[in-house]
Amino acid sequence: MSGIFGYLSTLRSPLQPEPATTMSRRMRHCDHMDLEWQAPHPAVQLGQRVVYTAQGTTLASAIATAGPVRLILSGELDHQEERRRELVTAGRIAPNADDAALALVVYLAGGAEALTDLEGSFTLAVWDGRSEQLWIVNDRFGLQQLIFAHHAGGFAFAPELKALLAAPGLPAELDEVAVAQYLRFQHLLGERTWARHCRVLPPASLLRYDLQTDTVHLRRYWDWEDLEEYPQIGFDDAVDEIIVRFQRVIDTQVRRAGRLGVFLSGGLDGRMITGFLPADTPVETFTFGAPGCRDVRYGRMLARRAGRPNHWHAFHSGNWVARNAPLHLALTEGQHSWIHSHGISMLPQARELIDVNLSGHDGGTVLGGHIRAYGKEDDKLRHPVSEQALYNDFALAFRDAFTWPGLLDHEADALRPDTWRLSYDSLVEQIRPTAYRPASMRADSVFLELSDRRHFGHQVTFQRAALAVRLPFYDYRLIHFVFGLPEAVRANPRLQRAILTRRAPKLALVPHDRYERLPHSDQRVVQAHDLLMRGRRWIGRRIGREAPHTLYADYEGYLRGELRPWAEKLLFDPRTQTRGLVNPRAVAALWRRAMQGEIWMIGKIAPLISLEFVMRYLFDGDDWRDLPIS
């Protein structure tokens, strides 16, 4: 998890080293992380966090300097081959120049506005000593989190809130609306953080901070309405073009440095990446989950079909959750709960074998036809009967469908008064400004920005603490084409299956873990497999053979079993109860229901545990290494 950080002050006296030094210390969570900073101006401190591979190399971070101009980049640029050739030919950059050097030349030639033409997954900062201005630019989808604050004559930015709170004079005041959002939706929305004065940089941002006037100017340089539409393209032509474009994405990412890996489950996204990988490219695959679960069975089967080595990390109990929860908290700062930390326990093993994870992160929304797992209810979001209905349906989807079912309205208000109203109103505030977007893509783009970026994207965040993570499905040119297709094509659940069947037919003959149906485009093949599976299940019932587990991790079972002492220690500790953040009686009532075996309680309980972790880590000042693990 590389990243950029800095602190600038309008005070004319030279800065003491404390801000950058403290920020660095707060962001070093692992031995293979290093942080370095410099002062290109007496009132400016800029730095970067570097993550070293097991082989001692660095990926996805770089610095470039030209006189009084310094550029720091976190991430990687895409589709710069032609520009790079031109600059090399012109003698502007060396043939082996890194992405930061390329971006610096772009800035020097065209100013900050030229940086908005770059593509990839990145955040970069440019300090221009000639004008005493700082520029920050991120990619169109905000794939590399950056938090910033402008307060008391200073401007600070970092990938983590705890580092930002080291800025002089910046108050650590809890954002009450953020708490309401978290209790209701299990994550934060929009640009909110846990602290009132700190905000997440929005996607496609061009930010300028002027040191002389102590002013910040922020504008969005790209939006979904800028995508071109392709109304004439039919289903088969779309499949052909997506195969060409996705193959180009994979080929580009394979050519970059680093030993490659793919995480495989029974889903479609990782298998699609595996199916597009060139046969002569060395790739390790990884699978985690409980013995006998579908993810393990089908993930390992996919690896065998693809002829790739597979490494399985077994979950024999839930003890791995408590052991890894403090580190998960430090890396994600509780922006999503520990029930989404699966995979963190196998990162040390993966790090020894690979440097880069080719992640299938949210290929299902980009190509799968559905908005997350909402399924049959997608139409309510894509074609609402009214604007108010859209708000209401999104509120229900965020609460119950996009992740584990959460607190009902009366349960949330019993924990903390006015939670329902604050969370609902803040959600509406995020959705209302998107009314100008094309109706065919509005609901999908809202999900990608509010849920995928602010919630599920943090599964990428904690992976980046050990590996570089590349996101093939978030390639801008791929999304530009896919979201320009007619809705009848783009939102068709057959689309991803047709791509997979045509490009990697062997992998389409391994069932999908959720339904145990083949993701094959030929319905005759699917129906024949369905008949076979029904026969197997009938025989299994006749001979008393139990069906395999369906969950890769039984979080509710863990909570009632080996995690119970750990959870009770956090929920009912005097320190927690005297904090007054939530009603202890309401917490106790929820806990009794969970311990009595009521299902779907994990989405109500887990955020309470994570919230207490957040309070201790961010606001009480605890070191994450001192947080309870048993």
Tell me: the pLDDT tens digits for 558-602?
Answer: 999 999 999 999 999 999 999 999 999 999 999 999 999 999 999
**In whole angstroms, what is the distance from residue 518 CA to residue 516 CA?**
7
Q: Choose among 353, 459, 457, 351: nearest CA to 52.
A: 351
Q: Which residues fall within 8 angstroms of residue 70, CB to CB, at 6 or more apart?
A: 38, 40, 46, 63, 64, 126, 127, 129
Query: What pTM did the predictor assign?
Result: 0.96
Distance CA 242, CA 479 (A): 10
pLDDT in tens, 61-117: 899 999 999 999 999 999 999 999 999 999 999 999 999 999 999 999 999 999 999
- Residue written as token pair 């093939």: 472
**Can you give the three-state secondary structure of 262-324, one letter per residue?**
EECCCCCHHHHHHHHCCCCCCEEEEEEECCCCHHHHHHHHHHHHHCCCEEEEECCCCHHHHHH
Which amino acid is it at 75? G
Q: Please, are residues 361 and 475 in contact by the beta-carbon 8 Å criterion?
A: no
| Arithmetic mean of pLDDT, 179-197 | 97
Cβ–Cβ under 8 Å, residues 470 and 408 = no
pLDDT at 410: 95
β-strand partners of 195: 174
**pLDDT of 432:** 97
pLDDT at 255 over 60: yes
- What confidence tier does 203 reach under pLDDT thresholds 50, 70, 90? very high
373 has pLDDT over 60: no
Q: Please spell the DSSP secondary structure of 572-619, one letter per residue.
A: S-HHHHHH-SS-HHHHHHHHHHHHTT-SS-HHHHHHHHHHHHHIIIII
Pairing verdict, β 356-358 and 260-263: parallel
- Is 486's pLDDT higher than 60? yes
Of 628, 626, 624, nearest to 572 by C-alpha is: 628
Q: What angle do CA 281, 286, 290 make, to 5 degrees?
A: 160
Question: pLDDT exceeding 70 applies to what percent of the chain?
Answer: 97
Percent of the chain residues topping a pLDDT of 90: 87
Q: Identify the burial level of 583 via C-beta atoms within 10 angstroms of its C-beta, where 0-12 means exposed, 13-18 middle and 19 or more buried.
A: middle
Spatial distance between the Cα atoms of 442 and 444, rounded to a whole number of angstroms: 6
How far is the C-alpha of 146 from the C-alpha of 161, rounded, in Å? 9
Adjacent-strand bridge partners of 157: 6, 148
pLDDT at position 537 is: 81
From residue 190, alpha-carbon distances to 102, 142, 181, 187, 335 in Å are 31, 11, 10, 10, 12
Is the pLDDT score of 609 beyond 90?
yes
User: Which residues is 78 bridged to in the sheet?
Assistant: 119
pLDDT mean over 473-490: 96
214-223, 238-247, 275-284, 290-299, range with the lowest pLDDT: 290-299
Q: What confidence score (pLDDT) does residue 545 get?
A: 72
22-26: average pLDDT: 94
Phi, psi (5° rounding) for residue 62?
-165, 160
Q: What is the CA radius of gyration of the chain?
A: 24
Pairing of strands 215-220, 199-200: unpaired
Task: Identify the pLDDT of residue 13.
Answer: 60
Helices (H), 128-257: 161-164, 176-185, 235-255
φ, ψ for residue 391, nearest 5 deg: -60, -45
Strands of 506-586, DSSP E: none
Tokens representing residue 451 in the block: 């849920």
Residue 479, pLDDT > 70, answer yes
For the chain, what's the residue count? 630
Q: Which residues contact 176 (CB under 8 A, 6 or more apart)?
A: 422
Let me know the angle formed at the C-alpha of 486 by 484 and 491, rounded to the nearest 5 degrees.
95
| Torsion over CA: 551, 557, 562, 563 (sign) | positive
